[in-house]
Chain A
Amino acid sequence: MLSTQAPGTADPSTRRVSALQDSAHRIRMHALDMGETQGQGYIGQALGVADILAVVYRDVLNHRPAEPDWPQRDRFLLSIGHYAIALYAALAEAGVLDVGELATYGSDDSRLPMSGMASYTPGMEISGGSLGHGLGVATGMALGLRHQGSDARVYNLLSDGELDEGSTWEAALACAHHGLDNVTAIVDVNALQADGPTKGVLRTEPVTAKWEAFGWHAVRVDGNDIEALVAAFDDLRGHRGSPAVLICDTRIGCGVPMLETREKAHFMRVEEHEWQLARAQLTERHFNRPTSDRARTQEEGLAR
């Protein structure tokens, strides 16, 4: 999976990775700004999936930001409505939303409610929030698009907590049975859910083996390693004959050291004085990042 490219060389692939890292940084910054307007939120998850969303929206999806309902677009379904803050940031980064509108996040009459809803936000394909719905809808979209002869693909970002929901596995069976190779599931494994660590709430591992047993082509990567994500999506786009799943191990609060180590990370409360500190840490980490390979080594060290 991982590139063998020597670090530090300014070849196109390194430039691609570097541009995506900048994009992920902006998504994180937008998420922190929105979080500050509400004083709280799923900040930890937003920081955790920022790298995935940057790669998806800047590198993977075939879409037209100015025309969110373009019929030939790839669909990106956010099952996890509570991650909306991250998707709004990504939609702004992708040019679907104006960055200025992010300031309305969670306010009365805003198009950006705290839990994502399709009828409110351009670029939001489904209303998530009740978990275990995204992959079923993705199944129908993929069946329909294939029936219509469309090349469009359907991506569904779900969380490891959604693997608790039986409906997710109903959909996994259906996608494999119907050979829907136009479906890509992306599972954000942050190993944490509302009642605590996933291994204590309801054990989901071994995640990769489960999807493989259901007939899926499964790839597992470090979801905060942009280079690995790019390589994995490139691989999955070429896969035919079965649906594919990209299992992404992510770190809650990734990019902001003081939030990465916070105890109550599922629904994070950030004190008023901490937002500026968080932004400062984020910027410090981003602009002083070493070359990509060294960055990965360093982040893995931090995670341990």
Chain B
Amino acid sequence: MNTSASTRTEPTPTGAPKRRLTTSAMIASIAEEGQRTTKAPFGHALARLADERPDVVGLSADLAKYTDMHVFREAHPDRFFQMGMAEQVMLGAAAGLAEVGLTPFASTYSVFATRRAYDFLCLDIAEPQLNVNVVGALPGLTTGYGPSHQATEDLAILRGMPGLTIVDPADSVDIEQAVPALAAHPGPTYMRLLRGTVPTVLDEYDYRFELGRAAQLRDGRDVLFISTGLMTVRALTAAQELAHDHIDVAVLHVPTIKPFDRETVLREASKGRLVVTLENHSVVGGLAESVASCLAFAQQSARMVPIGLPDEFLAAGALPTLHDRYGLSVAAIKERVRREL
């Protein structure tokens, strides 16, 4: 948070001072006021896993502190390899470590893992089907730093890569359970990382992460939310609040984007409800199009409303402002549902 003297406050209409929102880019948290949270769930989960599995190693491209990898580094310094600000060699080296029998987790920001080092992820890791787990922080719109850091198209980029498992976890519970599952999966994986102070929500829903499986978190007669990543947390809040307006909303959480749980999506989408997809990603090439193609190829139809980021380079700014502007906030979700019903 910016607490410098230059920070100004502006009076709100009620007279109470309102803190001016700033980009506070790299430390922006996606947790909402009053939400239960867990610190660095990925780093702690990886360190715990490494206690049991001596083959687990970690790599970073000069972003260990910003991808929660520093927790692993402190717990297992002999199994952490710093590769410097060089994503291509980080993924190449992760492949080499896997080739000699180790199980690497390589973390950096999503934009660098996907846009910058795509060829290395593709040819060194995915083609030989190595157990390398790439962990990308700042997925979608989780930083106000603008297009250089906003990975709004990482799912679109990676869905075309044969054999790659893609996971977009919702909260700390999802991340903690996904880490050992990804290590146990023999092939390559990509996980979108929520780092730092991460909401803890799914433990209230009797939820277990299962690779490749969608999970019904809530039932409802009027609307079916199909959501992934941090938008599942928003979807749950929106569903609870829409119930006050007598709108009954089901929530289907899809943590694995690839392979896609077609069976569950087809079953749930066949029940005549308005289908609303929610994703922290461009509406091009992510969850919405996964659901749409799944329905189309099965010759099934449903009325679909895609909530996601627009097909454009996004603005820089404060995260809450941007989430409102681009329609990802709980208020924006509720408004959209009311409008579409």
Contacts and interface: CB of A to CB of B under 8 A. Distances in A.
A interface, by DSSP: helix, strand, loop or mixed?
A: helix
B99 A140 contact: yes
B251 interface: no
B231 interface: no
B177 interface: no
B81 interface: yes
A145 B57 CA distance: 13
Contacts of B119: 130, 133
A96 to B, nearest CB: 18
Contact of A171 (B89, B94, B102): B89
Contact of A133 (B84, B92, B97): B92
B287 interface: no
A138 B96 CA distance: 6
Interface residues of A, number: 33
A166 B88 contact: yes
B120 A142 contact: no
Interface stretch (A49-57, A106-114, A119-127, A197-205): A119-127
A141 B97 contact: yes
Interface string A116-152: 0011000001110110110111111111110110100
A202 to B, nearest CB: 18
A199 to B, nearest CB: 26
Contacts of A235: none
B86 A173 contact: yes
A174 interface: yes
A289 interface: no
B contact residues, range: 20 to 34
B281 to A, nearest CB: 27
B16 to A, nearest CB: 52
Contacts, number: 102
B123 interface: yes
Nearest to A117: B127
A174 B128 contact: no
Given A133-B123, A136-B91, A174-B89, A141 B84 contact: no
B92 A171 contact: yes
Interface in B82-104: 83-84, 86, 88-89, 91-102, 104
Contact of B89 (A118, A125, A130, A139): A139
A154 B99 CA distance: 12
Interface string B160-202: 0000000000000000000000000000000000000000000
A177 interface: yes
8 contacts: A137-B92, A140-B98, A143-B93, A148-B102, A150-B100, A170-B88, A174-B93, A178-B81
List 9 A-B pairs, minimum CB-CB distance, nearest first.
A140-B96, A136-B92, A140-B93, A170-B86, A141-B96, A170-B89, A144-B100, A167-B88, A137-B96
Interface of B: 57, 78-79, 81, 83-84, 86, 88-89, 91-102, 104, 119-120, 123-124, 127-128
